[in-house]
A and B are shown apart, each in its own frame.
Chain A
Amino acid sequence: MSGTIIAAEIEKRPARSGDAAVMRVISATGVCGSGFSEHSLEEGMAREPDFIGCDAGSTDPGPAPLGTGTTAFPRRALKRDLRLMLLAARRAGIPLLIGSAGTAGGEPHLAIFRDIVLEIAREEDLKFPLALIHAEQDKDYLKRRLREGRIAALHPAPEFDEAVIDRAERIVGMMGAEPYLKALDEGAEVVIAGRSSDCAIFAGLPIRHGVDPGLAWHAAKLLECGAAVAVTRSAPDSVLVSFGRDHFDIEPLNPAMRCSPQSVAAHALYENADPYRLVESSGTLDLTHSAYEALDERRVRVRGSRFEPADRYTVKLEGAERVGYQSVVIGSIRDPYIIRQLDDWLARLDRHVAERLAQVFGADARHGFNVRVYGKNGTMGRLEPVERAEGHEVCLVMEATAETQEDASAIAAIARHQALHLPIPEWSGLITALACPYSPAHLERGAVYRFCVNHVLAPDDPYEMFPIEHLAVG
């Protein structure tokens, strides 16, 4: 993105009496669907913001939303948040920008958000020009760019080739700030975007209105997480940023929350590998020289953040592929003799399950069988430093993964039965070694997915991967 300040654009904006702010921005909440206080949004609207933004996506829920085309938050919760934001933005006549619709920002996710917005518009009798920005990528386009050497791996990254593109359920590109501005330029007043850089939702408009790009991207990084920037975020909520010529001020809109210089500085650490350098499509935000100053008990002023434009514009890719179908058995062990020889017992269980699977499915069949042992190393796996389980009981989660749900459940049922009666030398006679809380003992998890891409693509321009669709609503 060009960091050019267009002075004429700033001057043509109506001046507010006694107010030097270049622009004011509200972030309704850290992720659409998690909620915010209606009073906080009202408080923010009283400050006459220039636009409302809200991030709606995350990879935090894992690969399933991207793979299955579903949202991490329930539809009712999404609709509640979207209704309040839409009503506030339409009443004030300011843009509403939503990024990474539906958690993962692919086609099904964008469609879910489109339908909710159209439903709200009907119910509330709202009329507005809506833009949908698509982010799911065409597989032939990705293969062409791969052949051209324009897709590069980040570190660490899974193997990536044309076969991965074919296998992937869905691959999305993470758009920068430019497609949002283009959608607005083309007349949209509400923008629902597919997968997007969280910061891109908030950075574009301030830069266009003359805000220094370093400050704009830094504020965007804080805004995209909503009230997480507060000293203690008691609940998801709204925040306000007011941009000045050489600074921005940030404050939580819930009067019970406050920001401190330390809380604002510390937010750069959250879910981010490098606390000083944040890479975006168009460049890198550098916080090395950022300075944080308390304006009062609740507001913090930030200066000195810098933005280094990139030599080459890149778009990050995210993809999910189906690994198979899974069924799991949850069971516990309380017998002190079995717990004392647990590793040995588990090794024997593996062998017994493998032998029985060979009898049932044939010797060459390939299936996934894994046992998580809670009370031993269920949380940290091979990195668990505690070597000996010392609790009086352990929980086993036995996972069967196969190409069909039917096979996965068959493996789970076999594993249950093998575990149930697996003998130990201390007892003679048939034992029942596993306590199962459910009947049937296995749960069907459906299709399971993995993230299959951690790469960037160098497009010809910031727009080619993100087609914009305009709709006249109402």
Chain B
Amino acid sequence: MATLGELARLIRSKNAGPFELTFDIMFDDPERFERVRRSGVLSRALIARLYRLPETEVRFFIVPEALAFKASIPRPSFQGDLLDGDNHGGQQYAPLVDIPIP
């Protein structure tokens, strides 16, 4: 068992424009990338659960040529709105870091 954070070279979140938030989970090592892919843990359903959205609002991509997974969701608050606490969207990936991967 390892965590997603231990296996990835970078887990990040960022605005994709002011209205969407996107997550990149990137790997150096094809074996680690494959291990995460095979586990099926990192999925549309996981993102939907962590960010409390219906699965239909989550776009989920596996990008083998970049050894990466990507998910995009509507921003929890639009960027810069009164209740938005993360203007760049850069610290919203934290709940992904300790996800266990078999």
Contact = CB atoms under 8 A, between A and B. Distances in A.
B16 A271 contact: yes
B66 A262 contact: yes
B18 A451 contact: yes
B55 interface: no
Contacts of B52: 383
Contacts of B26: 266, 269
A182 to B, nearest CB: 26
Interface in B48-102: 50-52, 59, 61, 63, 65-68, 70, 72, 74-83, 85-88, 91-92, 94-95
A379 B85 contact: yes
B44 interface: no
B14 A271 contact: yes
Contacts of B83: 370, 381
Interface string A359-387: 00000000010101000001111110100
Contacts of A54: none
Interface residues of A, number: 45
Contact of A275 (B18, B50, B61, B88): B61
Interface of B is mostly: loop
Given A451-B19, A454-B18, A275 B80 contact: no
Given A379-B94, A383-B51, A156 B19 contact: yes
Contacts of B72: 273-274
Given A266-B26, A266-B66, A275-B63, A63 B85 contact: no
B49 to A, nearest CB: 10
A380 B94 contact: yes
Given A265-B63, A385-B95, A454-B18, A270 B24 contact: yes
B17 interface: yes
B15 interface: yes
Instruction: Give chain B's interface residue range (CB within 8 Å of chain A).
Output: 35 or more
B22 interface: yes
Contacts of B63: 265-266, 268-269, 275-276
A90 interface: no
Given A59-B15, A273-B59, A454-B19, A379 B70 contact: no
Given A59-B15, A370-B82, A385-B50, A262 B67 contact: yes
A62 B87 contact: yes
B19 to A, nearest CB: 5
A158 interface: yes
A449 B26 CA distance: 34
A401 interface: yes
A273 B81 CA distance: 20
A273 B22 contact: yes
Interface of A is mostly: loop
Contacts of A271: 14-17, 22
Nearest to B19: A454
Contacts of B20: 156, 273
B65 A261 contact: yes
Contacts of B94: 379-380
A276 B80 CA distance: 27
Nearest to B87: A62
A309 B10 CA distance: 34
A379 B82 contact: no
A449 B85 CA distance: 14
A16 interface: no
A378 B87 contact: no
B74 A155 contact: yes
Nearest to A381: B85
A59 B24 contact: no
A64 interface: yes
Interface string A223-264: 000000000000000000000000000000000000001100
A262 B19 CA distance: 28
A173 to B, nearest CB: 15
Contact of B80 (A274, A368, A382, A450): A450
A276 B74 CA distance: 18
Nearest to A324: B82
A63 to B, nearest CB: 4
A45 B75 CA distance: 41
Contact of A63 (B18, B65, B91): B18
Contact of A379 (B67, B68, B80, B86): B86
A157 interface: yes
Interface of B: 14-20, 22, 24, 26, 50-52, 59, 61, 63, 65-68, 70, 72, 74-83, 85-88, 91-92, 94-95
Given A266-B67, A271-B16, 20 more contacts: A59-B15, A62-B87, A63-B79, A154-B19, A158-B78, A268-B63, A269-B26, A272-B16, A275-B68, A370-B82, A372-B85, A379-B91, A379-B94, A381-B85, A385-B95, A401-B82, A451-B18, A451-B78, A454-B18, A454-B19
The list of the 7 closest CB pairs from A to B, nearest first, reads A62-B80, A266-B66, A273-B72, A273-B16, A265-B66, A63-B80, A265-B65
17 contacts: A59-B15, A156-B19, A158-B78, A265-B63, A266-B24, A268-B66, A271-B15, A273-B16, A273-B22, A273-B72, A276-B61, A380-B92, A380-B95, A381-B85, A383-B92, A401-B82, A451-B79
